[in-house]
Structure 1
Amino acid sequence: MVVGGGVAGLATAALLAHGGAQVTVVERGESVGGRAGTLEVDGFRFDTGPSWYFMPEVFEHYFAMLGEDVADHLDLVPLDPGYRVFFEPSGDGPSTGDDRLDVTRDPVANAATFDRLEPGAGERVTAYARRASEAYRLALDHFLYTTFARLDRAVDGAVLRRLPRLATLLTRTLAQEAARAVRDPRLRQVLGYHAVFLGSSPYRVPALYSLMSHLDLVDGVQYPRGGMYTLVEALERLARERGVTIRTSTEVEEILVDAPEDPDGRPRRDAFRRVGLRHLGRRPRGRARGVRLAGGEELAADVVVSAADLHHTETALLPQRYADLPAPTWDRSGPGISAMLVMAGVRGELPELAHHSLFFTRDWPGNFAAVLGDDRASAVRGLDVPSPASLYVSRTSATDHAGTARPAAPAGHENLFVLVPFPADESLGADDASQERLERLADAALDQVAAWAGVDDLRERVVTRRVVGPAHFHETFHAWRGTALGMEHTLRQSAMFRPGNASRRVEGLYRAGSGTVPGVGLPMCVISAELVAKRLLGETSARPLPVPLRRGYLGVRG
């Protein structure tokens, strides 16, 4: 039984069904995909969630486990430029050559671009990218594919030899690491913006995440023609081909848990007392036996995998006596960044914008402090939307243009997906007055894009648009405080410190998705599916599973 039909849920279902399990996915939405959704309106198509295709080797490995070639399912094209950056103009006019740059697939051209902003920066950023590649390989080989059930299996001679460097990367922030490489604040932004993909800020995530610069400065950026939702469609197809039953518009109300009994029929004493976890030992352990749906129907299962929002799983779906993270413990955690999404169909062409465009304000620290707070976001009081705001714009019609197999906009039009980082506050957009405020903020965001990119009449050319905020994520996905991405990647919410993918209290209950290891993002959600399979196999290594996996590898009968 898999709760949630997002990327993690579908990937888990297909992988377990390939192993021989009989799998049912229950999804509360009308269609699968979760946050990685799609919207079609008035002839325009928008990806409503993740829009960057990073870490291609993760997807290649996942498809290969199932005996498939990712190229048979996704039509991947390289983007050049990978993205365009607009820096806040120094005057009242649009950005000039000094206020924008393109990151291309040519490292020599990139170095020259960086040198233009800061003499000598090209060589230093090249060295930074080389170190990022080393950190990326270290993470892939030792930390991303481990359940942390056996920490000693992740730490070998290669890790031990890098301990001094690793310690530095864990005790320094990403912003500090970027500052050691370059002086120009604009280049520091180019090296630090990835923190937003982790639901956080460069001033809060460990410098270890400098590894993400490998993804754009070394790997380059790709895009699946037809949109990111083609990945969801591929995962759904793989799952159904392996016999997975998918029930949409099906709300799970409770994960059912039985208390195991001793042979004499009495409830077992809690085993956690033996390892000294007394705060857990005061609560009982149990065994998952299925789920109860809204309306009362019960679905029996030997194993339950919750790919739903972790906070919702722990505080709403599970009886609190069986939760690893009952409601009071969440006050000590950070939900990370939420967002306002503006999906706009625009008349005419927009060559000023690349497929991916980033807009960075000068007061970056103030931007992130407004959205996340100065330390951890344990409360929403005092947080607000910065103005102007650093934001992101996707124009997939630059690649899926009219004449391609799946155009993102009608001929003579473009589609824009604008993401403005917001505080995780589920009240934003929850009522008419708040929605009206979102609409005004959407106007301001479009005007900012127009002014900085030099598209004076942008808002007048919008022919259709949809605006959603944190309330949308809370209501649609049960997202904790309306966060858009999931639990942010501060040090104490990363790697072995992140909630594990197996319940400590409920036998047969596992987790997948952005709230558990390895973390936020589509590649991490796909890896989390593999980690569930490793748990069921009792596999504790840090290595990915072999490819291809034989049918029935779990040794169970469907």
Structure 2
Amino acid sequence: MRAAVIGAGIAGLATAALLARDGYDVEVLEQQHRIGGRAATWQQDGFTFDLGPSWYLMPEVFDHFFRLFGTSAEVELDLVRLDPAYRVFFEPAVAGAAPRVDVRTGAAEQAFEVLEPGSAPRLREHLESAREAYDLALRRFLYTSFERPTRLLHPEVLRAAPRLAPLLGRSLEGLVARRFRDPRARQVLGYPAVFLGTSPERAPALYHLMSHADLDVGVLYPRGGFGAVIDAIVRVAERAGVRIRTGEQVTAVRTAPDDGARGARTGRLPGLGSGHRAARVVGVELADGSLVTADVVVGAGDLHHLETRLLPDELATYPQSWWDRRDPGPGAVLVHLGVRGRVPQLAHHSMFFTRDWRANFDAVLGASARVPDPASFYVCTPSRTDPGTAPADHENLFVLVPVPADPGLGAGGIAGTGDPVVERVADAAIATISTWAGVPDLAERVVVRRTVGPGDFARDLHSWRGGALGPAHTLRQSAFLRGRNASAHVAGLLYAGGSTIPGIGLPMCLISAELVAKRLRGDRSSGPLPEPRPGPARPGRTRPDPARPDPTPADAAGVHP
């Protein structure tokens, strides 16, 4: 059985590895000349920049994936636990340096007590509810393709239903507002909605489970950056026999009538049902006109592009009319800065939050979309943890500013050569970092500058409407209401990645790969695939960051006025 996987992002690579493990002859076809998709890297003048994902959350998902191949995250990656998990700068009441708070895994109560005295018991209640939802999601919801919803009626789910069901009818913002009065505390607990491509007002309250991921489980960093994660997945895939071809643009999914001959030739794929569909895949066509034959095709890139550009209209499960009623989530302006000298004011992860929280999200996600001013944004400074990402006595800054998903805002460029709107967003973010964090000469110290805009996402990744993450995790775009992972009209055509179930983010993309493998196996269970028995124990490599001293008692609360 031959399988062709479209896209060499983490979902495509992981899917290819799992299918090769199951005996398929697998080829990955990537249109760019580098692998990684959104998780690719870019290097210049001794700096190594991650181009997208920068948070290593939900380590259980990575651990499980690697264990399926007889290895582990500890063996494949050099993981560092971040302390603090992240730093938050709040818009100051007057011009000048901003108040800030360091959020430490397992010690968030100290910071919340400073933000809102007396809030520690309510934070414990919030995190206990988040832990329950997180654990239940991993065991019963995330690893299912919802082919048989009755499988979800597990006694564990039924016992938790009275507590969890109300969280579907309430927003994350509403849940947090019931428990906390201080707007800064609400921002810390509401911001994880951005990881889901939406706002606290639009995300179901059930997604408060994300607070367990960073405040209880913790935030790790793979030394070498997220390119090291991609490299590890590639090693696993190639050991399984996967072939990866770059610079190969797929221009069409080729099909033939599903006349039953496929069943006689190969045996009908168990996870795709026994009834005939309108067509079956026979392979994919490349830009040079050649055909890569395949019994299974997995679209691991943007689902909108595959459904509306690579298939004829009559075979699309999700035609343009379906997408016209959906929320694409935010776009983004990314800014990669190589900075001369150190910037100790920033942590590995730093958030910059404006006071007018709702107005900021409405500007990005509302009906009258516009670039917010001022904007809340995120900064990653991996060189604080990993000096190898920058030359000596330099820092590596990655800035992400949410903007509307609109390719018309333009594309980025090197050294300020991007389109005007994109460069103005970058300039404003640099100015805010300078003022709020107290780095007045930051702009003068920039030696490498690169911007990326929604136009780049649309051109390079075929991203729907130039979105940065994927369809937003609103209620009607979550779980079984999200795009499914198999075509309704073309047998042998399946989907993986952030556009489909279970959703956005590297852990979700790894799970989406496993859902493809489960569907092809005919496995309709609601849990992850069984892992092989472990071999002899090997020493782990996850450790605290040795570059950071232990916090002093004065720093324990992590709050700095």
Using the size of structure 1 for normalisation, the TM-score is: 0.90
CA distance in 2, matches of 1:231, 1:160: 37
What is the CA-CA distance between 1:440 and the residue it aligns to? Answer: 2.0
Q: Does 1:371 align with 2:399?
A: no
Mapped partners of 2:231, 2:343: distance in 1: 29
Q: Count the aligned residue pairs.
A: 516
Query: 2:54 matched to 1:51?
Result: yes
Contact (CA 8 Å) 2:299, 2:494: kept in 1 or not?
Answer: yes
Q: Does 1:386 align with 2:372?
A: yes
Quote the offset at 1:430 in angstroms.
4.5
Distance 1:399 1:262 in 2: 57
Which residue does the alignment assign to 2:539?
none
Give the AA of the match of 1:362: R
Partner of 1:171: 169
1:547 counterpart residue number: 531
Show the counterpart of 1:116: 114
2:310 equivalent among 317, 337, 341: 317
1:497 maps onto 2:481 in alignment: yes
Residue identity matched to 2:360? N
Query: Please, which of 279, 292, 295 is the counterpart of residue 299 of structure 1?
Result: 292
- Counterpart amino acid of 1:400? D
RMSD of aligned alpha carbons: 1.8
**Amino acid of the structure 1 residue aligned with 2:134:** Y
CA contact (8 A) 2:352 2:378 kept: yes
Q: 1:508 aligns with which of 492, 504, 517?
A: 492
Which residue is 2:156 aligned to?
158
Which moved further from structure 2: 429-438 or 496-505? 429-438
Give secondary structure in 1 for the equivalent of 2:38.
coil
Structure 1 residue 180 displacement after superposition: 1.4
Q: Following the alignment from structure 2 to structure 1, what is the Cα–Cα distance between the partners of residues 236 and 333?
A: 32
Q: Mark the CA change 1:182 to 1:44 in structure 2 (over 3 Å): closer, same or farther.
A: same
Which amino acid in structure 1 is aligned with residue 318 of structure 2? L
2: CA distance, partners of 1:438 / 1:296 = 36
Secondary structure at the aligned position of 2:244 is classed as strand
CA contact (8 A) 2:7 2:299 kept: yes
Distance 1:532 1:284 in 2: 18
Distance 1:417 1:533, change over 3 A: same
Distance change >3 Å, CA 430–CA 443, structure 1 → 2: closer
How far the C-alpha of 1:163 sits from its partner, in A, is 2.0
- Give the alignment of 1:182-193 within 5 angstroms: 182-193=180-191
Correspondence for 2:90: 87
Residues 411 and 101 of structure 1: CA distance in aligned 2, closer, same or farther (over 3 Å): same
Question: Does 2:483 match 1:483?
Answer: no
Q: Contact 1:428/1:434 (CA < 8 Å) preserved in 2?
A: no
Give 3-state SS (helix, strand or coil) of 2:43's partner.
strand
- Matching residue of 1:404: none
Question: Which residue, 211, 215, 223 being the options, matches 1:213?
Answer: 211
Q: Which residue of 1 aligns with 2:221?
A: 223
Q: Distance in 2 between matches of 1:262 and 1:38?
A: 45
**Shift, 1:543, TM fit:** 1.2
Q: Partner amino acid for 1:100?
A: R
State how 1:111-510 maps to structure 2 within 5 Å: 111-261=109-259, 285-373=278-366, 382-401=368-387, 407-430=388-411, 435-510=419-494
Q: How far apart are 1:72 and its partner, in Å?
A: 1.3
Distance 2:340 2:203 in 1: 39
CA distance in 1, matches of 2:160, 2:325: 31
Q: What SS is found at the alignment partner of 1:50?
A: coil
Alignment of 1:18 with 2:21, yes or no, is yes
Aligned to 1:23, the other structure's residue is in SS state strand
Partners of 1:370 and 1:383 within 8 A in 2: yes
Where does 1:518-533 land on structure 2 (aligned, <5 Å)?
Answer: 518-533=502-517
Show the counterpart of 1:554: none
Q: Decide which moves more: 32-41 or 424-433.
A: 424-433
Q: Deviations over 1:490-520 (max 9, x none)?
A: 0010001111111111111110000111000
Q: Which amino acid aligns with 2:102?
A: D
Q: Distance in 1 between matches of 2:150 and 2:232?
A: 36
Q: Is the 8 A contact 1:66 1:549 kept in 2?
A: no
Task: Report deviation, 1:471.
Answer: 0.4
Q: Indicate if the aligned counterparts of 2:412 and 2:456 stay in contact, CA closer than 8 A.
A: no
- Map Cα deviations across residues 335-363 of structure 1 (whole Å, 9 max, x no partner): 00110000000011000000000010001
SS of match in other structure, 1:35: helix
**Structure 2 length normalisation: TM-score?**
0.90
More divergent stretch after superposition (509-518 vs 153-162): 153-162
Q: Which moved more, 1:432-441 or 1:486-495?
A: 432-441
CA–CA distance in 1 between the matches of 2:331 and 2:475? 19
CA displacement at 1:329 relative to structure 2: 1.6
Encode CA deviations 1:467-504: one digit per residue, 9 max, x unaligned. 11100100000000000000110001000111111111
Q: Supply the distance in 1 between the matched residues of 2:519 and 2:380 (Cα, whole angstroms).
A: 37
Distance 1:201 1:3 in 2: 30
Unaligned regions of 5+ residues in structure 2, if any?
A: 262-274, 535-561
Q: Find the aligned partners of 2:401 and 2:302 in 1 and give their Cα distance.
A: 22
Contact 1:255 1:290 in 2 (8 A): yes
Counterpart-to-counterpart distance in 2, 1:349 and 1:45: 16
Runs of 4+ that moved beyond 6 A: 431-434
Q: 1:275 is matched with which residue?
A: none
Per the TM alignment, residue 284 of structure 1 is displaced from its structure 2 partner at its CA by 7.0
Q: In 2, distance between residues paired with 1:154 and 1:58? A: 20
Q: Identity over aligned residues, as a percent?
A: 56
- Preserved contact between residue 394 and residue 418 of structure 1 (Cα < 8 Å): yes
Distance 2:379 2:407 in 1: 23
- Runs of at least 5 residues in structure 1 that lack an aligned partner in the other structure: 264-280, 375-381, 402-406, 551-558
SS of alignment partner, residue 179 of structure 1: helix
Q: Does the 8 Å CA contact 1:175/1:202 hold for their aligned counterparts?
A: yes
